[in-house]
Amino acid sequence: MYKWITALALGLMATLTPTAQAAEGGRWVADFDEAVKLAKAEKKDLLVDFTGSDWCGWCIKLHEEVFSHESFYAEAEKDFVLVALDFPHDEAIKAKVPNPERNRELANLYGVSGYPTVLVINTDGKVLGRTGYQKGGPEKYLTHVNTLAADGKLALVEILNLVNTYESAEGKAKNAAFEAVLAGFEQRKSDDIGMLSLANILRSHLAADTDDAKGQNVRVIKALLGKGQADDEVKVAARKLDPKNEKGLLEVLVAMSFKAARDDASAHAALDELEALIALGPIKDDTLALDVYYNAAYFCFKYLDMPEDATKYAKLARPLCPEDDQERIETLDHIINS
């Protein structure tokens, strides 16, 4: 099994006190839905900290450097209701979490995959900004958060215009509005504000046009895959539309499987997908091929005790590796020569 807990987290756990926000005089609300009511009443946004208070080193570090300072609260409480949603390991601390099921539901809803994740959210539940640990102390962190909130509100207006135009359009105007949604999704970064709203429209298009009558599904699927917004239904649509990887969709799915691998079972599953892909012919995208082969070689060598397979994948990756990428070159050469 992979060792995902960092040395930093282990070191900090031994020296710092857990449930840090709980010690701040009740300034952090532990119930999200109660916080929303409070924010509406006070006409504020929410600053939501998804944290692992008793085990996450970066969470503890963020608290020490930012959230434990009175200067942070003096300004933050003017504009935000502060929310701490805790995901502790210790059973005694878990027992103090008001609604752990709701916390998990919110983590899934907002795509929280690591800790700390700090979100600026309005009272309609729209994410205005996403961040985590940032060094520099409370004043710099407040400036960062306020900038996220301001930029997020502007971006949200743009997204809502795209969505509202699409939902109200008919006939040819509907097609033009969908093109605008797709282009807007492609042009933005995966963690930009409102991407989920645009992704939902694209997924609805796939569900409605299962036979690709409009000829847009390859582009839609590539966009969703590229921005990390592909659910199981999108992956099924990709395999149906491109069963032999002629359009390059299957290789993107394989790359995603390697990125998602977190244990021996998921790593072996990714390797099986890669072997099936190789049987269909060369990977079309050289950059993607390098990433996939490199990850396969590294997994086999480092974690899975599969030296022959590691050498095979390293030899496939090595010719694709740019000469200025010394770190990967050294790793691949080490695997090949071991």
Using CA atoms, how far apart are residues 256 and 252, in angstroms rounded to an integer? 6
Apex 316 CA angle, 243 and 292, nearest 5: 55
DSSP-assigned states of every residue in 201-214: HHHHHHHH-TT-TT
Residue 323: band (very low, low, confident or very high) from pLDDT cuts 50, 70, 90: very high
For position 196, what pLDDT does the model report?
85
Q: How far apart are CA 133 and CA 62, in angstroms?
A: 6
Beta bridge pairs of residue 82? 47
pLDDT in tens, 228-285: 888 899 999 999 999 999 999 999 999 999 988 889 999 999 999 999 999 999 999 9
Mean pLDDT of 195-215: 93
The domain spans of the chain are 7-136, 243-338
Residue 204 clears pLDDT 80, i.e. is over it:
yes
What's the pLDDT band for 24 if we cut at 50, 70, 90? low
pLDDT at 145 exceeding the cut of 80:
yes
- The per-residue pLDDT for 224 is 95
Architecture of domain 7-136: 3-Layer(aba) Sandwich (3.40)
121-140 tens-digit pLDDT: 999 998 999 999 999 999 99
What DSSP line would sit under 123-171, residue for residue?
Answer: TTS-EEEEE---SSHHHHHHHHHHHHHHHHHHHHHHHHHHHHHHHH--T
Residue 132's pLDDT is 95
Q: CA quadruple 29, 30, 32, 33: dihedral positive or negative?
A: negative
Query: Integer distance in angstroms from the first to the last C-alpha of the chain?
Result: 22
Quick one: what percent of the chain has pLDDT higher than 90?
82
Cβ pair 329, 320 in contact under 8 A: no
Q: Which residues contact 305 (CB under 8 A, 6 or more apart)?
A: none
Q: Which residues of 229-265 are buried (b: 16+ CB within 10 A; e: fewer)?
A: bbeeebbebbeebbeebebebbbbbbbbbbeebeeee
Name the band, by pLDDT with cuts 50, 70 and 90, for residue 174. Answer: very high
Q: For position 247, what pLDDT does the model report?
A: 94
What SS3 state is found at 122? coil
Q: What would the mean pLDDT of 151-157 be, rounded to a whole number?
A: 92
The 3-state DSSP class for residue 120 equals strand
Measured in degrees and rounded to the nearest 5, phi and psi for residue 97 equal -75, 125
- Per-residue pLDDT at 9: 41
Q: Rounded to an integer, what distance in angstroms lies between the CA atom of residue 24 and that of residue 194?
A: 32
Write down the pLDDT at residue 21: 55
Alpha carbon dihedral 128, 132, 136, 140, in 10-degree steps, equals 10
Whether pLDDT at 177 is above 90: yes
Cα 269 off chain centre by = 21
Whether residue 19 has pLDDT greater than 60 = no
- Cβ-based burial of 113 (10 A; exposed 0-12, middle 13-18, buried ≥19): exposed
State residue 26's pLDDT score: 67
Per-residue confidence (pLDDT) for residue 68, from 0 to 100? 94
Output the pLDDT for position 105: 96
What's the chain's length in residues? 338
- pLDDT by residue (tens digit) across 81-112? 999 999 999 999 999 999 999 999 999 988 89
pTM for this one? 0.66
Decide if pLDDT at 25 tops 60.
no
**Quick one: DSSP state of residue 52?**
-
